[in-house]
Amino acid sequence: MNIYKSLNEMINYIENNLENKIEYEKLAKILGVSEYTMKSIFSLLCNMSISEYIRKRRLSNAGFDLCKSREKIIDIALKYQYENATSFSRAFEKFHGMKPSNVKNNPNGLKIFTKLIFDENIKENTNIKYSVIEKEEMILYGKGIKTTDYEISQDAPKHFANMQKKYIHQYGPIKYGMVVYEKRFESDNYQYWVLYDKEITEFEKYVIPKSKWLKFDISSQDEKNIQEMSHRFYAEIVPVLKYNLRELPELEYYHDNMTEFWIPIEN
């Protein structure tokens, strides 16, 4: 399967249905994966959620319509799947920096968000080795912090270092790092946890259900190396695999000066 050809088919479906309800189930079918996995692949390759892409394409077209046609604002709002003129106007102003009612007086201020086109000639890189493992239910103990997609690269290493410094003499080295997503691809609310595989009463208990995982090894525990390799794996390997991702946290397992990165997959 050429993932980029399938992604272009997805984009064409979106373009043909910007004025209609877009079925995520159909997008997932084009890609040959589950809806959750489709959202994940799109987000990882495009650095935006698919809902954000659709919203920006609709608002871009709406600006053109307001500038070139005599349609009423409420008609254009309904045309691009907004429930009312108020919600449309709010989204329009946030995107374009002006109210819909001001477009006729300042058409040059409109923003254009163009259609995505993927290069179907890109050769898929599969030189990162991975394996599939299965783990029984895991009961871990630790502490987490709230963060976001934009701040986690700074927040996670800081939280890890603080926890390691505070507790290493009492409980030993940290065993696991964990990223928890709240409504991934729809919300920017993340959590980052550091965890131990032994009961510690002052920490919170976290239960990871039995699951299969995609696992790859990183010969380092440095946060920059972990972030770089995990991004590469998601961008280069996950899109071309046939596995559907599971809505569980991601885990990092630290041992012997290396890191195992675990991505949950469906059975």
Is pTM beyond 0.85? Reply is: no
- Is 115 part of a structural domain of the chain? no
Supply the pLDDT for residue 125.
54
The distance between the two most distant Cα atoms of the chain, rounded to a whole number of Å, is 72
Residue 74, in any domain of the structure: yes
User: Looking at the structure, do residues 205 and 159 belong to the same domain, yes or no?
Assistant: yes
If asked whether residues 38 and 142 sit together in one domain, one would say no
Q: Are residues 207 and 93 in the same domain?
A: no
pLDDT profile of the chain (267 residues), mean per 10: 86 97 95 90 86 96 91 95 95 95 84 92 71 96 92 93 96 95 78 96 96 94 88 80 89 95 92
Range of the domain at 90: 3-109
Residue 52 falls within a domain, yes or no?
yes
Does the residue 210 lie in any domain? yes
Q: Of 40, 75, 109, which closes a domain? A: 109
Q: What is the model's pLDDT at position 137?
A: 97
With respect to residue 126, please indicate whether it lies within any of the assigned structural domains.
Answer: no
In this structure, the answer to whether residues 103 and 154 fall within a common structural domain is: no
Same domain, 135 and 258: yes
Helix, strand counts (H, E) of the chain: 8, 8
End-to-end CA distance of the chain: 21
pLDDT of 241 reads 81
Within-domain flag for 119:
no
Residues 34 and 97 in one domain: yes
- One domain, residues 144 and 227: yes
The answer to whether residues 15 and 115 touch, using CB atoms and an 8 Å cutoff, is yes
For residues 141 and 32, membership in a common domain is answered with: no
pLDDT given for residue 123 in this prediction:
66
Helix (H, G, I), strand (E, B), or coil: what is residue 234?
helix
Q: What is the pLDDT of residue 196?
A: 97
Domain count, the chain: 2
CA distance 205 to 215: 24
Specify the pLDDT at position 126: 57
Domain identity same for 87 and 20: yes
What are 267's two structure tokens?
């059975």
On whether residue 159 sits in a domain, the answer given is: yes
Q: Are residues 162 and 251 in the same domain?
A: yes
- pLDDT for position 122: 67
Residue 140 sits in the same domain as residue 184: yes
Closest CA to 244 of 14, 8, 31: 31
Per-residue pLDDT at 169 = 96
pLDDT at residue 160 in the model = 96
Instruction: Answer yes or no: do 165 and 80 share one domain.
Output: no
Residue 153 inside a domain? The answer is yes
Collapsed DSSP state (helix, strand, coil) of residue 30: helix
